Every structure is written in structure tokens, then in C-alpha cells.
Amino acid sequence: MRRVWLLALRDLRLEVRDRAGVLSVLAFFGVMLFVMALALGPEEAPLRRAAPGVLWVALAFMSTLLATRAFALEVEENTLDDLLLTPGGKEWVYLGKLLFQLLLLLPLSALALLLSAGLFYLPLARAPALLLTLALGVLGYASVATFYAGLLARLRGREVLLPLLLFSLVVPVVLASVRATVGLAEGLPLEEVAPWWQLLLVFDLVYITASALLFPLVLEG
Amino acid sequence: MLLRLEAVSKRFGQDWVFRDLSLSLKRGEVVALLGPNGSGKTTLLRLMAGLLKPTRGRVVRQGRALFLPNPPAFHRRLTAREHLLFDLGFHGVAGDWEAALTRFALPPDLPLAAFSSGMKKRLALARLLLLRPDLWLLDEPETALDQEGRKLLLEVLEEARRDAGVVLATHDRALAEAVADRAVGLGAA
């Protein structure tokens, strides 16, 4: 676990010093929310209805951008080989890159939730349940995005290929996340939302385990 | 035996880089790879490191291998201190990074973006010395080094051979003659 933290914190330090990645994610995210709010508003009903969808589209794109960024840090500086020559399993590289994204994505998700509440009338009365949904959904999405970003890291056109490969596999995660968010926004009892959380948890565990096991193979030259 | 290549061949597309190459390396040995540009020295080092797979043949490696590319690869937004601390932690090795930076005359807190090519090469050597791999794979380690840096390189290679094996690719025949126990020539396949 020490290696995972070391890699994640080093990447976070690089990202904070560079700022380009986080700023582009924030710019995309802000523009998207404001354009959608302007297009669907000002009446409350259509904005509230669209809120879960808009929130998850924004989070999905943010996660995809950050996953590409996680490996671009290594490819730009030609440092991926150093990580691959570290003794022991290569799954640490995958888990470190995943943790790096989560350290950025989770605060950004909370910010997205606040902005969605402000612009789209998403009710925050059940904020803890919404945050749980965001955490489970983002974890599932980022686990697959990290895997594919690593697979495509050395290929030209990776920015085009990543969404094409990724979106087909993360449909269950996005679907469950959106349905859980809609249920919470509509005030459904937690017992009716809980099955979506269970589904997300299962997908998260399966995706993380499978990705960590397969990751060393995709990095071999 | 630290490293054994058994009839190794490598092809990119239709072009063979080299064919049926066999080589072995023991602890305490230094082997120089000589050859013109494009003869496959870097490819061979990457095969030895396990970063590439041979098209044919087998590479058997024992112990920990580290590869020093040319130019060395570092994150330019990190400082030398941050780089070495990360490497030591990530490799699970204990080492005196402060003494290493002092010995190689490198500033600990300057971002690597401000380092010259020679300073980066010195840092790469300091890193290898701290991480103490069993197998040192060096791609043109003399490039960009000044007189003092070259002296340090010779010292480092002498220290490395005490408990490790070294393969270095170089165009510098004088360096190869000074440090290598034997040389392997690579040419067109």
C-alpha cells in the first residue's frame, strides 16, 4: 500500500505544479454546467429533471480526462519504464494511478454536487446519500478509465480511442449511478435506492480486481 | 549468472534489428555494447531489462535490473530530492540521498527543468547508486558529462561491478576499453 500512496501523492504533486490538467477539467466542467443550465432554464422543473444526467455526464468526462492525464504524466517525460522496472507486481502502478485520480475526482465530485444544487435545483437534503452515490460511481468509472488509459498510454490517438473503448464497458456503472441519483433527487426511500448502490459496489469490486490483475499484462512490451 | 541471452532475435515490422544473439553476464562483470547508430544497442538493453520481448529466443534474468536511458527520464517539475525520495520509497530501498546529491554536486531543491543534460545524467547515476540494482543497463552513460562527470562515472562503474553486473552501450571506445571486461559488437542484422 505504501507504493500506491507514494505514486498517487507524487502524481498529485506533479499535477498541482503543472495545473494544466486540473484547470482544463474545471474549465470543461464549468462551461458544460452553465451551458446546460442556460439551455434548460430558467424553469425549475426541467432543470431539476435534467440534474442527475448533467451531473453524471460532467463526472464521466472529468474522469476520462484525468485518466488520460495520469499516464500522460509518464509518457511526456518518458518515465513509464522506470515504474515498470520496479520490483514486484505492476498492479501497484494501476492502483497508484487510480488513487491519484480519486484524490482529485472525489473533491471535484463534491464541488459538482454543490454546483448542480445551485444551478439545477438538485435537492441537497440527502447529501450524504448523494455523496455515497458519487463515490461509488466515480470509483467504478475511474477503475475502468485507468485500465484503458494505461493500455493506450503509448499509442497515438489515445484521446480518441479511450472514450470509444471505455464507454461500452462503463454503461452499467453510469446507469446505476444515474438511477440512484434520480431516486434520491425524487425523494424515493433509501430502501429503493439501495439496490443501485449494491450493484455499483459489485461492479466496483469486479472492475478493480480484474483491472489490477490484467494491468501487468497490458503494460508488457 | 545474472543475465543470459539465448539466440535472441528482435524484429520491428519486417526489419530485423539483430538475430540469434547469445550473451551471458556474471556478477562483477562489465560488458560494452558497441555499434553504429541504429545497430540495436538500445533495443538490446531494453530486452535485457524486460521492457521489450524478443521475437525469438529467450532472455533469462536474475535479480533486479534498472535501465538508464539516454537522455535520462525525469519529471521536470520535481526536484532532485523529491525524485530520489520517491525512488527509494517506491523501490523499498534505504539510502543516503543527501550524501549522494553532495557527492554528485547536485542541488537538492531545484526543479529538474532547470538542470542541464549533464546534471540530469549525474542524477541518474546517483539514483542507480542509491537503488543498487543487480543488473545495470546503461545507454550511452558518458553522453553530456563533463570531465568531472566522466570521472564520477568511472568511479560509479567500479563501485557497481563490486556486487552487480553492468552492460553499457556506448560509442566511446576509450570508455569501453577502460571499464569493460569484454565488448560485443552490433551491426546490421
Residues in chain B: 189
- Which of B:150-189 have CB within 8 Å of A? none
Taking only the tens place, the pLDDT of each residue in B128-172 is 999 999 999 999 999 888 888 899 999 999 999 998 999 999 988
Taking only the tens place, the pLDDT of each residue in A33-47 is 888 888 887 888 888
Domain boundaries, chain B: 3-75+130-185
- Going by pLDDT thresholds of 50, 70 and 90, the confidence category of residue A91 is confident
Report the pLDDT averaged over residues A68-89. Answer: 84
pLDDT for residue B98 is more than 60: yes
Top-confidence residue, A87 or A27: A27
- At residue A122, the pLDDT reads 84
- At residue A9, the pLDDT reads 94
Domain boundaries, chain A: 2-218
Taking only the tens place, the pLDDT of each residue in A168-217 is 888 999 999 999 999 998 888 888 899 999 999 999 999 999 999 998 88
- Best interface-test mutation with A: which of B77, B88, B131, B139 has the largest number of A CBs within 10 A? B77
> Phi/psi class of residue A214: alpha, beta or left (left: φ > 0; alpha: ψ in -120 to 50)?
alpha
- At residue A216, the pLDDT reads 84
- CA distances for A110 relative to A60, A72, A142, A196, angstroms: 14, 25, 16, 20
- Going by pLDDT thresholds of 50, 70 and 90, the confidence category of residue B106 is very high
- At residue B108, the pLDDT reads 93
Burial class, A181, CB count within 10 angstroms (exposed 0-12 / middle 13-18 / buried 19+): buried
- Which of B:43-72 have CB within 8 Å of A? 46, 49-53, 64-67, 69
Q: Is B22 within 8 Å of B6 (Cβ atoms)?
A: yes
Say whether A81 and B86 touch across the interface (CB within 8 A): no
Which chain A residues touch B66 with a CB distance below 8 Å? 85
Round the average pLDDT of chain B to a whole number and report it: 91
Q: Is B77 within 8 Å of B111 (Cβ atoms)?
A: yes
Q: What is the DSSP letter of B30?
A: E
Taking only the tens place, the pLDDT of each residue in A106-120 is 999 999 889 888 888
- At residue B188, the pLDDT reads 54
CATH class label, B3-75+130-185: alpha beta
Round the average pLDDT of chain A to a whole number and report it: 88
Whether ipTM > 0.90 holds is no
Report the pLDDT averaged over residues A47-54. Answer: 88
Burial class, B172, CB count within 10 angstroms (exposed 0-12 / middle 13-18 / buried 19+): middle
Q: What is the DSSP letter of B111?
A: B
- Going by pLDDT thresholds of 50, 70 and 90, the confidence category of residue A220 is low
Q: Is A96 within 8 Å of A11 (Cβ atoms)?
A: yes
**DSSP state string for B114-159:** G--HHHHHHHHHHHHHHH--SEEEEESTTTT--HHHHHHHHHHHHH
Which chain B residues touch A78 with a CB distance below 8 Å? 69, 73
Closest CA to B95 of B134, B130, B124, B133: B130
Counting DSSP H helices and E strands in chain B, the numbers are 6, 8
- Best interface-test mutation with B: which of A78, A85, A97 has the largest number of B CBs within 10 A? A85
Q: Is A72 within 8 Å of A133 (Cβ atoms)?
A: no
Say whether A6 and B75 touch across the interface (CB within 8 A): no
